[in-house]
Amino acid sequence: MIISSAKPFEEVLELLKDEDDIFIIGCSACAAKLHVGGEPEVLNMRQRLEEAGKNVVGWCIPSAACSVASFDSLVEKNPAIKDAKTVLVMACGSGVSIVSQIVELAVYPSNNTESLGGRSQGEIIPELCAMCGDCKVYYFGGICPKGQCPKQLLNGPCGGSIEGKCEVDPEKDCVWELIYTRLKKIGRLDLLEKVWTCEEITG
Amino acid sequence: MSLTFKDKLESDNFLITAEISPPKGTDLSEALADAELIRDQVDALNVTDNQRAVMRMSPLAVSRALLDAGHEIIMQLTCRDRNRLALQSELLGAYAMGIRNICVMTGDYTTKGDHPGARPVYDMDSVQLLDIVRRMREGYDLAGNVIDNPPVFTVGAVTNTDPSKLMQMMKLRKKAKTGLDFIQTQAVYNTEQFQTFMDRTEDIEVPIIAGLIPLKSAKMARFMNQNVPGINVPEEIIQRIENAERPVDEGLAICAETARELRKLCRGIHIMPIGKHDKTTRILEMAGIRKNI
């Protein structure tokens, strides 16, 4: 899923300071799962904007903001959008971009988009995939160093880790420790022998 | 005619290299003076490349100035600040300026330095950079285009020496496999551990030059243990410095003892003092491995 987080409300208000008659578009996909664009968040946003003196003409929550087909499909969900002068999208950057393509109004984001990650066992895990367009994650036991190593090293760790922790973020395990543990567990340490040459690097 | 660093690598000589830091500014006199302190004492000088991600003068410029002053140079080159275009053009420029030895490394992350907002590059890693050097030696750039007068570098890489770090050992093997003429290591304090490292890397037939950083105080040793990757000063050494009347002298004595031990274990030492080389000659004398004697 796309990991995004909510901008501080004050920032959203600043973005909208010269705007009014706002229509809010949420997203039932990633943003809803991350509680930054589902129904409770959209309703809360509406209330706070109204408390701040803004007129909110309506809202809707498409199944995914990044795949809204047309303006008409938004009208079908809530015709109030026809009265709007401004749209606030509570989704990731893709959602904001798609809505901007189909709506002839100023479109503002309420979230910051951070990475391609996931959520498992109640925990949000950012930066799982670098979206390099050439998936080799199998070689690393399903733990992608392009996504998870700040230096995106494919041939093994840098010399910068201390006590198995990442040079860049000492709170995090060096991804190469995790890759080793995982490949050992599945009996495929041989995959580590592969030398990644320049040709095999894209993106 | 004096032997080049490459000649010496191919000999049985015990090698001594030392680190020179480029200036934060445009005045080369301090770097030249530092190199002068150890003229004829060392086989080559490593010129660092924005070490610890702190912005300094280009190592290519400093290397050329040191070459002009008659020193043998190993120019360091990191993957942090340059994409594949810049790495290759830097290599061509270095060779044209007379630099014949380079040492490649990944490079400390930008957030560790004085420009934490700088965008880190890491387009290539150190193994791939070694591959680039090899291809260029064969007369081709990374895109397969022919290069006129290909640069033929003597090329080194770096490593930590903790043999229990299996992934780092694996990477060292990949570097050796890609093409390496020498290896320079992080500072060694635990010669027993270093012996194990040497045993486990016996299959890598590349000369290994062990790093040395003279300790100045117990505080410095503790700080490095906690903050400098790959450094492990044993507690007994820290105690020795702590109990010494003159901690700096004790640090030099420890460094000389380590150097003497290392002489039995590997092909050379690489001295990287914090600050200047004003004590380096003394360390070499105390260790009994001074050149030209």
d(CA A153, CA A203): 13
Rg over CA atoms, chain B: 18
Model confidence over B104-144: pLDDT tens digits?
999 999 999 999 999 999 999 999 999 999 999 999 999 99
Q: What is the pLDDT of residue B291?
A: 66
Residue A109 pLDDT > 80, yes or no?
Answer: yes
The pLDDT of B189-215, averaged and rounded, is 97
Residues of A in contact with B120 (CB under 8 A): 150-151
pLDDT at B293 over 90: no
d(CA B124, CA A201) in angstroms, rounded, equals 8
DSSP B114-163: S-TTSPP--SS-HHHHHHHHHHHHTTB-TTS-B-SS----EEEEEE---T
Q: What pLDDT is stored for residue A200 in this prediction?
A: 75
Note whether A153 contacts B122, CB cutoff 8 Å: yes
Cα→Cα distances B28→A42, B64, B78, Å: 61, 11, 21
Please write the tens of the pLDDT for every residue from B59-105: 999 999 999 999 999 999 999 999 999 999 999 999 999 999 999 99
Name chain A contacts of B169, Cβ cutoff 8 Å: none
Residues B19, B270 contacting (CB under 8 angstroms) = yes
pLDDT per position as a tens digit, A54-67: 999 999 999 999 99
Distances from the Cα of B53 to the Cα of B108, B113, B130, B196, B270, angstroms = 6, 4, 21, 31, 21
Query: Model confidence over A115-146: pLDDT tens digits?
Result: 999 999 989 999 999 999 999 999 999 999 99
**B186 in contact with A at a CB cutoff of 8 Å?**
yes
Q: In Å, how far from its chain's centre is CA B82?
A: 19
Q: How confident is the model at residue A198 (pLDDT cuts 50, 70, 90)?
A: confident
Cβ–Cβ < 8 Å for B201, B207: no
Contact status of B105 with chain A (Cβ, < 8 Å): yes
Q: What is the pTM of this model?
A: 0.91
The pLDDT of residue A199: 77
Q: In angstroms, what CA-CA distances link B268 with A57, B3, B173?
A: 76, 16, 20
Specify the pLDDT at position A203: 42
Interface contact flag, B125 A155, Cβ < 8 Å:
yes
Residues 6+ away with beta carbon under 8 Å from B128: A155, A196, A197, A198, A201
Q: What is the mean pLDDT of residues A40-53?
A: 98
Average pLDDT of the residues in A27-45 = 97
Buried b (16+ CB within 10 A) or exposed e, B201-225: beebebbbbbbbbbbbbbebbeebb
Kindly state the average pLDDT of the residues A153-165: 94
